[in-house]
Amino acid sequence: MQFVVGTVAGNLCQYLRTCDSSSCSYHGNCSYYANGKLNCQCETGYAGTNCELVDYCAERPCLHNATCLLNTTTYFCDCLPGSLGVNCSVMDPCWQTNVCNNGGTCISLHNGSYTCACSRDYTGPNCSVPVSACFSDPCMNGGSCITGGSDGFSCSCAEGYTGFTCKMEMPCRSLPCQNGGTCRHTATGAYVCDCLSGKSH
């Protein structure tokens, strides 16, 4: 396209334009197309129709083939898949790498590390440690959890407690028998007191 530099332009010199240092925001050379439209040839480091933008992309801050985009005050990098960060300088550890095992989901962090969201049956940094039925500590009141059995675990209850998860307090634990009587549990879950006289109540 033909450029006409000066104060007039057009086939009939019908466009009157004034090119000065302010026309291109003091950062470019001003000229006009033949149709009278202003054209600014910006200095290195400036961009925009009137060279009004600082060209933060001139020094190619975006890495790994990312696209640098300008706005009125700064730039941002449109990263390709596999890189992250302000300048796309951090490689995404989750990209095309199976770091989380057993169906775990990899979550990238901005510092280049990652964390795994594991399925309910696995734990550990990479979801490689099976979760046993005792992992949630199901036995109450000081009971000990033992892995195995049809339910996946059983509880060895502390003295004075009973039930599948040692939830129930045995009645003798409250020492209900008076005057030196001895408390004894029955098969029905109740209790009897063996009194010093030899009688039970």
Whether residues 7 and 49 fall in one domain = yes
Whether residues 111 and 141 fall in one domain = no
Distance CA 3, CA 31 (A): 7
Digits of tens for pLDDT over the chain (201 positions)?
333 344 555 566 666 667 776 778 788 888 877 777 778 888 888 888 888 888 888 888 999 999 999 877 888 999 998 888 889 988 888 887 788 999 999 998 878 889 999 988 888 899 988 878 888 889 999 999 988 777 778 999 998 888 899 998 888 878 888 888 888 877 777 888 989 875 554
pLDDT of residue 162: 86
Indicate the number of domains in the chain: 4
Structural domain containing residue 142: 133-169
Q: Does 77 fall in a domain?
A: no
Q: Does 110 fall in a domain?
A: yes
Q: Does 66 fall in a domain?
A: no
Q: Does 18 fall in a domain?
A: yes
Whether residues 29 and 10 fall in one domain = yes
pLDDT of residue 198: 54
pLDDT of residue 5: 44
Whether residues 11 and 49 fall in one domain = yes
DSSP string, the chain: --EE-SSEESTTS-EE----TTTTTTSEEEEEETTS-EEEEEPTTEESTTS-EE-TTTT----TTPEEEE-SS-EEEEPPTTEESTTS-EE-TTTT---S-TT-EEEE-TTS-EEEE--TTEESTTS-EEPPTTTT----TTPEEEE-STTSEEEEPPTTEESTTS-EEPGGGG----TT-EEEE-TTS-EEEE-TTS-B-
Whether residues 20 and 49 fall in one domain = yes
Kindly list the distances between the CA atom of residue 118 and the CA atoms of 3, 29, 108, 121, 131, in Å, as whole numbers in the listed order.
64, 60, 14, 8, 10
Whether residues 21 and 50 fall in one domain = yes
pLDDT of residue 15: 60
Whether residues 120 and 147 fall in one domain = no
Domain end, chosen from 131, 154, 183, is at: 131
Distance CA 110, CA 132 (A): 33
pLDDT of residue 4: 39
Distance CA 37, CA 33 (A): 5
Residue 98: give its domain's CATH number. 2.10.25.10
pLDDT of residue 2: 36
